[in-house]
Chain A
Amino acid sequence: MLLKKREKLILKADNQEAVSMFETIFYEENHGVATITLNRKDKLNAFTEGMHQELMIALKKAAQEPTVRCLVITGSGKAFSAGEDLDGVTEELDHGEVIRTRYMPVMLQIASLNKPVVAAINGAAAGSGLSLALACDFRLMHEKAKLVQAFIHVGLIPDSANLFYLPKLIGHAKAMELAVFGEKITAQEAKESGLVTRVVNDENWEKEVAQFAAMLAQKPTVAVGLIKRLLQKSWGENLQSYLLEESYSQRIAGKSPDHMEGLAAFKEKRTPDFKGE
């Protein structure tokens, strides 16, 4: 109940107030790009219940704000995220319940966000921290960052949709290998296996992340959102229902002002100026 109240307050609040209300993350909107920065530096940005609550509020805000056309998720300090905060893991903990009540809403929210989501993996992404990165649409990885399928080392399975996304990104056999052996993956290895979109060196990190996000924020957002959804559908639907879904999507895109702008720009031989509508 308390959360609902707080959620309402924050959703109504402007960015400055929202930022001041969060304790475990930063949230900001800038030139069409929303950035969520996981902010429990001393704990390597490990997830707690409170952090998940704030993350959900921020994700909803990014979804609802029409000026936001791209979302970046990153970590503050040395790590992206070390996954679940093990301080909260006791013998009595119902792991299934934690997934259903905390991780599941976040994964579903990211998947249903009709805007591109970028994981800017600034440092180590381990356990469900890696899962969060896998749930994003693009992954930029700092050259010194490491990815770790840490679950197996404590006798657990990779959770938070980790095993749902992993084989789709790198194939079944490679996914099995990573999940079962849990060896550290360097940025170079991640790039080679198709796990990340780009590796960025330390010097250019911030600039390149910003440029990448800005580029996405200039795309026709309606079409990007529809592409995202159709790709998701492509894994579960048969061809006929996929094509039906495709026809709906193209109808929606075809009615969008950005499509009109694209057509006009093509005819006038100029670069289109998409508004994300």
Chain B
Amino acid sequence: MNNQWSHIQTEIVKNAGTITLNRPEVLNALNTMMVSEIVQAMENFDQDQTVKVIVLKGAGRAFAAGADIDEMLDKNAIELELLNQFSDWDRIARIKKPIIGAVHGFVLGGGFELALCCDILLASQYTEFGFPEAGLGIMPGAGGTQRLTKLIGHARAMKWLLTGERFSAEDAWQYGIVSSIVPDQLLVEETEKMAEAIAKKPPLSVRLIKESVHKANELSLAEGMQQERKNFYLLFSSEDQKEGLRAFKEKRKADFKGR
């Protein structure tokens, strides 16, 4: 366990760099310090050769129940523009290793936006999702209106964003926001299993697949296909590609080096 942080904890378990939001007394409400620590920890893991996959979870009763209201209370528009706090969030999108989010309890507002930054989400069965911002006279500012809409479509995103209604893990699963729902008691265990499974895959494949999938959100189909093809070709300059195909042919277990 690494305690250089004040609002999070990090550790590496079986090649998974794990970040735990650790302000349970305020249901892990996100403030600028916490976001900056999360991003820093992710960038550290991204550079750490022993880390193959990043796991993000929350300590206590919630993943993250929103942003720290106190911090925003007295800000004006110009202060926010100069502070440019959301630029930290943009760095999450540049992380190359896959990020698995394990969410439980409340995933609200900024906490939901953070969850939407993950590549795969596992949710405990009683998780509640929602964007309460509209009711506070503000709106999501860290990708909520954009990522949610791309993920679940205009009509449903509008409904949840405009009414601020909370929705269940079951709904989130049906809309494709979470990849699986597991009992609360097994959330960590199941997340670790998934992380372990991905960590065993050749890292370059994982890396370029992640990059390609992200392009699907950003590029036209034709451009995305081009990008995919280039990444496909690129893998053929890796040792793992040779080893992977050879091992398959020779009916033995591949020994991947990450090169």
Interface size class of A (residues with CB under 8 A): under 10
- Which residues of chain B from 102 to 158 have a CB within 8 Å of any chain A CB? 126
CA distance in complex: A69, B186 (Å) = 22
CB-nearest residue of chain A to B189: A251
* A-side interface mostly: helix
Q: Is A252 within 8 A of B126, CB to CB?
A: no
- Which residues of chain B from 176 to 225 have a CB within 8 Å of any chain A CB? 182-183, 185-186, 189
CB-nearest residue of chain B to A256: B185
Q: Is B126 within 8 A of A248, CB to CB?
A: no
Q: Is A251 within 8 A of B126, CB to CB?
A: no
Q: Which residues of chain A have C-beta atoms less than 8 A from B182's C-beta?
A: 248
Q: Which residues of chain B have C-beta atoms less than 8 A from A112's C-beta?
A: 126
User: Is A249's CB within 8 Å of the partner chain B?
Assistant: yes
Total interface residues in chain B, CB < 8 Å: 6
CA distance in complex: A117, B126 (Å) = 20
CB B222 to nearest CB in A, in angstroms, measures: 37
Q: Which residues of chain B have C-beta atoms less than 8 A from A252's C-beta?
A: 183, 185-186
Q: Which residues of chain B have C-beta atoms less than 8 A from A251's C-beta?
A: 186, 189
CA distance in complex: A251, B190 (Å) = 11
Q: Which residues of chain B have C-beta atoms less than 8 A from A248's C-beta?
A: 182-183, 186
CA distance in complex: A256, B185 (Å) = 11
- Which residues of chain A from 237 to 277 have a CB within 8 Å of any chain B CB? 248-249, 251-252, 255
CB-nearest residue of chain B to A247: B186
CB-nearest residue of chain A to B186: A248
CB A66 to nearest CB in B, in angstroms, measures: 14
CA distance in complex: A252, B185 (Å) = 7
CA distance in complex: A255, B183 (Å) = 13
Q: Which residues of chain A have C-beta atoms less than 8 A from B183's C-beta?
A: 248-249, 252
CA distance in complex: A112, B184 (Å) = 13
CB-nearest residue of chain A to B185: A252
CB A85 to nearest CB in B, in angstroms, measures: 29
CB A227 to nearest CB in B, in angstroms, measures: 14
CB-nearest residue of chain A to B190: A248
CB A244 to nearest CB in B, in angstroms, measures: 9
Q: Which residues of chain A have C-beta atoms less than 8 A from B185's C-beta?
A: 252, 255
Q: Which of A112, A249, A251, A255 has the most CB of B within 10 A?
A: A251
CA distance in complex: A248, B126 (Å) = 15
CA distance in complex: A196, B162 (Å) = 45
Q: Which residues of chain A have C-beta atoms less than 8 A from B186's C-beta?
A: 248, 251-252
Q: Which residues of chain A have C-beta atoms less than 8 A from B126's C-beta?
A: 112
CA distance in complex: A141, B182 (Å) = 37
- Which residues of chain A from 3 to 23 have a CB within 8 Å of any chain B CB? none
Q: Which residues of chain B have C-beta atoms less than 8 A from A249's C-beta?
A: 183
CA distance in complex: A248, B183 (Å) = 7
CB B171 to nearest CB in A, in angstroms, measures: 14
- Which residues of chain A from 105 to 136 have a CB within 8 Å of any chain B CB? 112
CA distance in complex: A249, B126 (Å) = 15
Q: Which of A248, A249, A255 has the most CB of B within 10 A?
A: A248
CB A102 to nearest CB in B, in angstroms, measures: 18
CB A114 to nearest CB in B, in angstroms, measures: 10
CA distance in complex: A112, B126 (Å) = 9
CA distance in complex: A222, B126 (Å) = 17
CB-nearest residue of chain B to A249: B183
- Write out, one digit per residue, whether chain B residues 165-183 have a CB within 8 A of any chain A CB (1) or not (0): 0000000000000000011
CA distance in complex: A239, B183 (Å) = 18
Partner-B contacts on A (CB < 8 A): 112, 248-249, 251-252, 255
A-B contact pairs, 7 of them (CB 8 A): A248-B182, A251-B186, A251-B189, A252-B183, A252-B185, A252-B186, A255-B185
With A252-B185, A252-B186 given, name 9 new contacts (CB 8 A). A112-B126, A248-B182, A248-B183, A248-B186, A249-B183, A251-B186, A251-B189, A252-B183, A255-B185
The 9 closest A-B pairs by CB, nearest first: A252-B185, A248-B183, A248-B186, A252-B183, A248-B182, A251-B186, A252-B186, A249-B183, A112-B126
